[in-house]
Amino acid sequence: MDLNAYRKVALVLIEVGHYALALALALSLTQMVMPVWASRAGDPVLRGVAVPAALATFACIAFAFAALTYAHVTSDFSVQNVVENSHSMKPLIYKISGVWGNHEGSMMLWVLILALFGAVVALARNAVPPTLRANTLGVQAAITAVFLLFILTTSNPFARLNPAPMEGRDLNPLLQDPGLAIHPPLLYLGYVGFSITFAFAIAALIEGRIDAAWARAVRPWTLAAWCFLTVGIAMGSYWAYYELGWGGWWFWDPVENASLMPWLAGTALVHSTVVMEKRDALKVWTVLLAILTFSLSLLGTFLVRSGVLTSVHTFATDPARGTFILGILVLFIGGSLALYAWRAPTLRQGGLFAPISREGALVMNNLFLSAACATVLVGTLYPLALESLTGEKISVGPPFFNLTFLPLAVPLLLVVPFGQTLSWKRGDLAAASQRLFVGFALALAVTLIAIAVTWGGPVGAPLGIGLGAYLILGAALEIVTRAKGKTLSLSLRRAAGLPRSAWGTALAHAGVGVTVIGIAAQAWSVESLATLPRGGELRAGPYVAVLEGVLPRTGPNYTETVAHLTIREGGDPVGVLQPGKRFYASRNMSVSEAGLLTVGASQVYASVGETGADGSVGIRLYYKPLVLLIWLGAVVMALGGGLSLTDRRFRVGAPALKPAARDAAGPVPPHSVPAE
Amino acid sequence: MTAIWFIFALMTGLAVLALLWPMSRRPALAAAVPEGEARIATETGFYRDQLREIDRDAARGLLAEPEAEAARAEAARRLLRASREPGRPAGAFGEPALRRRRAASAFALSTVPLVALLIYGLYGSPDLPAQPQAERLAHARAAGNDLAAAVTQIEAHLAKAPEDGRGWTVLAPVYLRLGRVEDAIKAYENSLRILGDDPGRLADYGEALVAAGDGVVSSKARDAFERALKQDSKAVKPQFYLARAAEQDGNRGEARTRYAAMAAAAPPEAPWLPMVRDSLARLDGTAPAAAPATGPAIGEEQRGMIRGMVEGLAQRLAEKGGTPEEWARLVRSFMVLGERPKAEAALAQARTALGGDAGRLAPVEEVARETGLGEAAGAKAAP
């Protein structure tokens, strides 16, 4: 294409993108109606319409998203969204990530991912029974249509300005960070991924049947969404940790809770679908969990997007948007729960199992996770409800969550290794304890060592370290026991032959242990604060920071005051920290940039406060032992989930045999059912 | 821009074709399920696969034979139950299916273009071309409209070198002319911070502050004028605004002295002399209270702008209400603009809006007293 033709196309690109978005709405309305109608009539040809509809919807939304990105990259200030969130001097990466660093753009990302999942389900011909697939696509299209309508009517990213202003207002400096490029897409892949599970649940209710095939079809979506959400939350936590300059990694902030709630419910769902697929049990409960998980995602969206909460995530408040999202919330949550109440009794209940069994342990997992989720929900919504009713402002902070969440989380974690060890249908608690004995003993030893080494420190921390060690050892023991053979080479062969889902489970549970250790170790973190003159020293834990000087620095769209700190340990320099304070003239806003020095899994963290006229500067120095384990554990969890995802074998949970029969079972360990 | 409608039509056509495509295939073909689908996509197929998996596991030694047997029994039980369930009637053939498909085609053909065009028609701007930054700058230069382009260039330069005081000095008055008052104030502040005090720039800075305050000489502005006057005691602008400040504070004596001094020292042909004389006359009560909005250096354009700001404030307060301070500022602004009737109306509105709460009304009443508005209007409003 020659340059002139290219220019002509580029001229209309934004409006074509806008039209593509409107067309996507029309297509998703069709996709909402046709497959459900076809399924009721039992017409496979008409049902087939769902596939091209889902693909075309995705293509249209992807095109619109690309057009918006083009407007941002070329600094087209005739687009209001670009004016409000971009600046011609902004680095390219932030021009791109700025597309979703604002309300309209983030909703575009939301529907893009929604449509992406729809398209993938449409293409997954062999993984899903056809009627279920058609109904699922119909429900998914309903969600897409409503959100597209929301975007087009209240948050249009393609609103134009004529005449165009010469310069934009730049992106919120807090968001000008690589974290913005990664955190929201991952989080949305998680949030929106649960929409597919939700659509499957509603489709099952519409169809009035649910079986192991359903669970098999749902499992990969749930797992994938869960993995993305896990990494997305961890990424957000790490971003807050280094960007906000307070050294905290979790603040029990309502916006954080909004992402934690679907994660807790989603974790329960991942486990209950296993029970359903293998044992054909817990059907009605699983459907409810699938509905609740996505409802909590929607609730999170409502809290963040409606302006009920003010935070860096809120971007802009507009009552019309809040009302619209509240309407969406009522429609989907109310509608799905009503459908559930109506249709759930018609679903056939599944297999039976003894209380002491793998299923029993997973039910316990579900109970504890749901209770923890309910706790967070109360802690998040209660202050909001109170404020709207009485006008009184209270803040429910970490003390509440520590007192309510921890007592639920700790017993849950204690049960995890047991659950892995018990067999399906009927388990043997004594035998399981026996197998876990080594793990117990080693974890106890770790705890005692931790107490001895840190004598006089916080009481809870060594216990937490012990709990983490117990989780990791429990996961490792599970693999070892199942693989143990007469010789080492046989054991290794058997370990390699174990199903990937078994490895995935062990890895994910070990990841939980890693995170627990990281969290527990934070009890030993040290914070110190001082105004340092040049050459001044500040100590935090084993490290001493020496202020070498304060220098100005110029970035592409900001100026920065940088403090140069040399970090010493026992007199030897171990590294340099350069925390700074950036000033963005276009927004008249200052943002602190923390300086981080990583030593093993621990970090030394410094942030800059006020600068004095005499060259002195306020420095906040933290020593954070093993802090990286918190996020590393989350990554390990997600890897475990991913590994399990690749295992597409058909599962059936066979009960272990009664002790009398076990002897006849020969050399193979009796619990080595293909299980996870 | 008619080309854009062809593109829209093409997109819509493709979308509708995509929807109709599965229906155009022959039903027999579509109904025949491929081999893989038959295996997994039905429940019975699922359990058959499960049985095969158990056999494979048992063969690989992952499953003990008795357990494999138990698992087989379980899967077989479910398979039996699933195969006992009645199948659904196939609705793919016959007259009703044909009618259904026609209805569906009609639905797709009508709904898709209608919804898309309706929504786009409501919110789209088909006549507005894209205007990338680079292209817009080139256009602005070609059209000789370099002011905006120059501003953008200077801004870009200052973003890289924010300590260039001269850049800020050049930019500040341009901002003021473009009506970007807040930006002008920031630019003056930067310029003063980097290049140090200068009577001319201090006076201009004060003037920008006055413009931002809807004509009110704030204490910050007064401070700037006093600093300017300290460096150049003959500067006209600071003298005038300080007199205006005294007048606004209700300090008529000082205001009169300052205006009189200016009038006495002025060369007879000074363009601002009539304005000073008017002010004097107003203070002496020999002329109607028609104070000009702003000082000598501000043109008609600026005055209109300030008036616009005040009217905007009045409208916003009338519609949405505001803080006592905002009401006080409105009343004062009208008095400064010489619009006494409007000031009185605003005062009455403020009294209603703030609901007779003496504490909240205090700043408004204060202004009313200062400007000599309180007695007359207050007497009317008092019970």
Separation CA A203–CA A138 (nearest Å): 8
- Domain assignment present for residue A318? The answer is no
Please list the residues that pair with B334 across neighbouring strands: none
The helix or strand, by DSSP H or E, that contains position A624, with its residue range, turns out to be strand A617-624
- What CATH number is given to the structural domain containing A22? 1.20.120
Residue type, B312: G
On average, the pLDDT of chain A sits at 85
Q: Does B28 touch chain A (CB under 8 A)?
A: no
pLDDT at A676 over 70: no
Query: What is the rounded average pLDDT of the residues B175-181?
Result: 75
- Per-residue confidence (pLDDT) for residue B374, from 0 to 100: 56
Chain B (157-216) residues lying within 8 Å, Cβ to Cβ, of chain A: 158-162, 186
- Transcribe A232-283 into DSSP letters: HHHHHHHHHHHHSSS--S----HHHHHHHHHHHHHHHHHHHHHHHHHHS--H
Instruction: Give dist(CA B249, CA B67) in Å, integer.
Output: 97
Q: Please state whether beta strands A559-569 and A543-554 pair in parallel, antiparallel, or not at all (unpaired).
A: antiparallel
| Closest CA–CA distance from residue B59 to any residue of chain A (Å) | 12
In sequence order, the β-bridge partners of residue B46 are none
Query: What's phi and psi for B27, nearest 5 deg?
Result: -55, -35
Is the pLDDT at A489 greater than 60? The verdict is yes
For residue B38, the tally of other CB atoms under 10 A from its CB is 14
Q: Judge whether A238 lies within some domain.
A: no
Q: State whether A546 and A579 are in the same domain.
A: yes
Tens digits of per-residue pLDDT, A179-232? 888 888 899 899 889 999 999 999 999 888 787 788 888 888 999 999 999 999
CA of A129, closest CA in chain B: separation in Å? 4
Task: Look up the CATH number of domain B197-284.
Answer: 1.25.40.10
**Residue A491 and residue A638 share a domain:** yes
Size of chain A in residues = 676
Residues A537, A642, single domain; the answer is no
Tokens of B151: 């501003």
Contact residues on chain A for B108, CB-CB shorter than 8 A: 30, 34, 49
- B67 contact A CB<8A: yes
Q: Could you tell me if A504 and A556 lie in one domain?
A: no
**Residue A77 to residue B131, Cβ atoms within 8 A:** yes
Interface contacts A/B by beta carbons within 8 Å? 276
Which of chain B's residues have a Cβ under 8 Å away from the Cβ of A651?
50, 53
Calculate how close chain A gets to B115, using CA atoms only, in Å: 5
Look up residue B356 and give its two tokens: 């007779």
List of chain A residues whose C-beta atoms are within 8 Å of the C-beta of residue B159? 89, 556-557, 585-586
CB contact under 8 A, B40 and A126: yes
| pLDDT recorded at residue B291 | 44
Dist CA B292 CA B297 (whole Å): 12
Q: Answer whether residue A55 is part of any domain.
A: yes
Query: Which residue out of A28, A45, A147 would a mutagenesis test of the B interface target, given it has the greatest number of B Cβ atoms within 10 Å?
Result: A45
Query: Measuring CA to CA, how many Å separate B61 from each of A172, A178, A425, A494, B66?
Result: 59, 49, 21, 9, 12
Please report residues of A whose CB lies closer than 8 A to that of B35: none
Beta strands (DSSP E) in A461-558 are 526-532, 537-540, 543-554
For testing contact with chain B, the best of A136, A166, A553 (most B CBs within 10 A): A166
**How many Å lie between the alpha carbon of B321 and the closest alpha carbon of chain A?**
18
Q: Do A170 and A123 share a structural domain?
A: yes
Given a contact cutoff of 8 angstroms between Cβ atoms, the answer to whether A556 and A89 are in contact is yes
pLDDT of residue A318 exceeding 70, the answer is no
Question: What is the domain partition of chain B in residue ranges?
Answer: 197-284, 309-372
pLDDT confidence band for A653 (50 / 70 / 90): low
Q: Which residues of A touch B50 (CB under 8 A)?
A: 212, 650-652
Residues whose CB falls within 8 Å of the CB of residue B141, separated by 6 or more in sequence, listed in order:
B149
Residues A560 and A595 in one domain: yes
Please report the pLDDT score of residue A616 as a whole number: 83
The predicted-structure confidence for A279-293, as pLDDT tens digits, reads as follows: 878 888 999 999 999
Query: Pick the residue with more confidence: B121 or B89?
Result: B121
Chain B residues touching residue A351 (CB < 8 angstroms):
74
Q: What pLDDT is recorded for position A309? A: 65
Residue A312 has pLDDT above 60, yes or no: no
Which two three-digit tokens encode residue A188? 């949305």
Residues of chain A in contact with residue B120, where contact means CB-CB under 8 angstroms, are 18-19, 22
Sequential DSSP letters for A555-578: -SS-EEEEEEEEEEETTEEEEEE-
> pLDDT for A387-407, tens place per residue?
778 877 777 778 889 889 989
More confident position, A301 or B301: A301
Q: Considering the domain boundaries, does residue A616 fall inside one?
A: yes
Determine contact, residues B197/B227, Cβ cutoff 8 Å: yes
Taking an 8 Å cut-off on Cβ atoms, the answer to whether A212 and B78 are in contact is yes
Give me A282's structure tokens: 């817990």
**Which residues have a Cβ under 8 Å from the Cβ of A214 and sit 6 or more positions away?**
A129, A132, A200, A204, A276
Instruction: State the pLDDT confidence band at B295, using cuts at 50, 70 and 90.
Output: very low
Judged against a pLDDT cut of 80, whether residue B268 lies above it is answered with no
Domain contains A179: no
- Measured between CB atoms, which of A19, A131, A661 is closest to B8? A19
pLDDT at residue B153 is higher than 70: yes
Where residue A636 falls among pLDDT bands split at 50, 70, 90?
Answer: very high
- pLDDT of B120 above 90: yes
* Longest CA span, chain B: 119
Q: Is the pLDDT of residue B198 over 60?
A: yes
Closest CA to A174 of A105, A244, A107: A244
> In the numeric block, which tokens belong to residue A311?
């935070």
Residue B32 confidence (pLDDT): 44
Give the mean model confidence (pLDDT) for residues B297-318.
68
A672 to chain B: which residues are within 8 Å by CB? Answer: 62-64
Question: Per DSSP, what are the bridge partners of residue A562?
Answer: A551, A580
Q: Is B260 exposed, middle or buried (0-12, 13-18, 19+ CB in 10 A)?
A: middle
Q: Which of A505-519, A571-585, B29-43, B100-114 has the lowest mean pLDDT?
A: B29-43
- The residue of chain A with its CA nearest to that of B118 is A22
Q: Say which range, A163-172, A352-361, A638-647, has the weakest mean pLDDT.
A: A163-172
Q: Using CB atoms, pick whichever of B62, B115, B161 lies closest to residue A672.
A: B62
Contact B112 A26 (CB under 8 A): yes
* Range with lowest mean pLDDT among A125-134, A527-536, B143-152, B210-219: B143-152
* Coil, strand or helix at A534: coil
A489 with A580, same domain? no
B294/B222: higher pLDDT: B222
Could you give the maximum distance between any two Cα atoms of chain A, in Å? 86
CA distance A387 to chain B (A): 22
In a domain, A309, yes or no: no
Mark whether A484 and A499 lie in a shared domain. yes
* Structural domain span for residue A460: 428-523+628-648
Looking at residue B53, its pLDDT comes to: 79
The encoded tokens of residue A211 equal 């079986």
Of B246 and B379, the one with more pLDDT:
B246
Taking the C-alpha atoms of residue A60 and residue A318, their distance in angstroms, rounded to an integer, is 27
Please give the distance of CA A54 from its chain centroid, rounded to a whole number. 25
pLDDT, position A153:
92
Strand partners, A57: none
Q: Which of A174, A207, A230 is the last residue of a domain?
A: A174
- Residue B11 makes CB contacts below 8 A (sequence gap 6+) with A16, A19, A20, A23, A60
In chain A, which residue's Cα lies nearest the Cα of B187?
A585
pLDDT tens digits for range A447-473: 999 888 888 778 888 999 999 999 999
Which range of A491-505, A517-531, B356-370 scores highest in mean pLDDT? It is A517-531
B96, closest residue in chain A (CA to CA): A41
Clarify whether residues A166 and A33 are in a common domain.
Answer: yes
Whole-angstrom distance, CA of residue A643 vs CA of residue A504: 5
- The residue-averaged pLDDT of B98-107 equals 86
Q: Which residues does chain B have within 8 Å of residue A56's beta carbon, measured at their own beta carbons?
A: 14-15, 18-19
Higher pLDDT, A347 or A594: A594
Residue A334 lies in a domain: no
Q: Which of B19, B114, B119 is facing A52, going by the closest CB pair?
A: B19
Please report, as a single letter, which amino acid is at residue B2.
Answer: T
Whether B142 has a pLDDT exceeding 70, the answer reads no
Mean pLDDT of A17-21: 95
Record: contact A76-B92, CB cut-off 8 A: no
d(CA B186, CA B172): 8
Q: What DSSP string runs through A518-530?
A: HHHHGGG-EEEEE
- Return the residue in B123, B147, B180 with the most chain A beta carbons within 10 A, the one to mutate for interface testing: B123
Q: Are residues A473 and A509 in the same domain?
A: yes
- φ and ψ of A593, to 5 deg: -115, 115
Query: pLDDT-based confidence at B351, cuts 50/70/90?
Result: confident
Which range, of A119-128, A136-145, A342-351, B142-151, averages the lowest pLDDT? B142-151
Out of A8, A19, A89, whose CB is closest to B124? A19
Whole-number mean pLDDT of chain B?
A: 76
Put simply, the answer to whether B22 touches A657 (Cβ < 8 Å) is no
Q: Which of B1, B16, B19 to mutate to test the interface with A (most CBs of A within 10 A)?
A: B19
Q: Which stretch, A121-130, A158-167, A362-371, has highest mean pLDDT? A: A362-371
Q: Which residue of A has its CA nearest to B9?
A: A19
**Tokens (6 digits) for A63:** 């095109």
* Whether residue A503 sits in one domain with residue A460: yes
Of A174, A208, A238, which marks where a domain is finished? A174
Span B176-191, mean pLDDT? 82
How far does Cα B64 stand from its chain's mean position? 70
Is the model more confident about B253 or about A372? A372
When pLDDT is averaged across residues B54-63 and rounded to a whole number, the result is: 75
pLDDT of residue A474: 92
Cβ-based contacts of A55 with chain B (< 8 Å): 18
Assess contact for A424 and A656: CB atoms under 8 A. yes
- Average pLDDT of the segment spanning B130-156: 72
Domain count, chain A: 3
Query: Do B90 and A661 make contact, defined as CB atoms within 8 angstroms?
Result: no
Does the beta-carbon distance from B124 to A22 stay under 8 Å?
A: yes
As for the ipTM of the complex, it is 0.81
Best of B5, B17, B37, B46 to substitute, by most chain A Cβ atoms within 10 angstroms, is: B46
Contact indicator for A31, A53 with CB cutoff of 8 Å:
yes
Whether the CB of B21 is below 8 Å from some CB of chain A: the reply is yes
Express each pLDDT in B25-52 by its tens digit.
Answer: 655 444 444 444 444 456 677 777 778 8
Q: Is B25 in contact with A45 (Cβ distance < 8 A)?
A: yes
Question: In the prediction, which pLDDT does B92 show?
Answer: 54
pLDDT at A276 over 60: yes
Cis peptide before A163 (omega within 30 of 0): yes
Q: Which residues of chain B neighbour A647 with C-beta distances below 8 Å? A: none
What confidence score (pLDDT) does residue B382 get?
A: 36
My answer on whether A78 and A24 are in the same domain is yes
Q: Cβ contact (<8 Å) for A30 and B92?
A: no
Q: B83 and chain A: CB distance < 8 Å anywhere?
A: no
Integer Cα distance of A286 and A280 in angstroms: 11
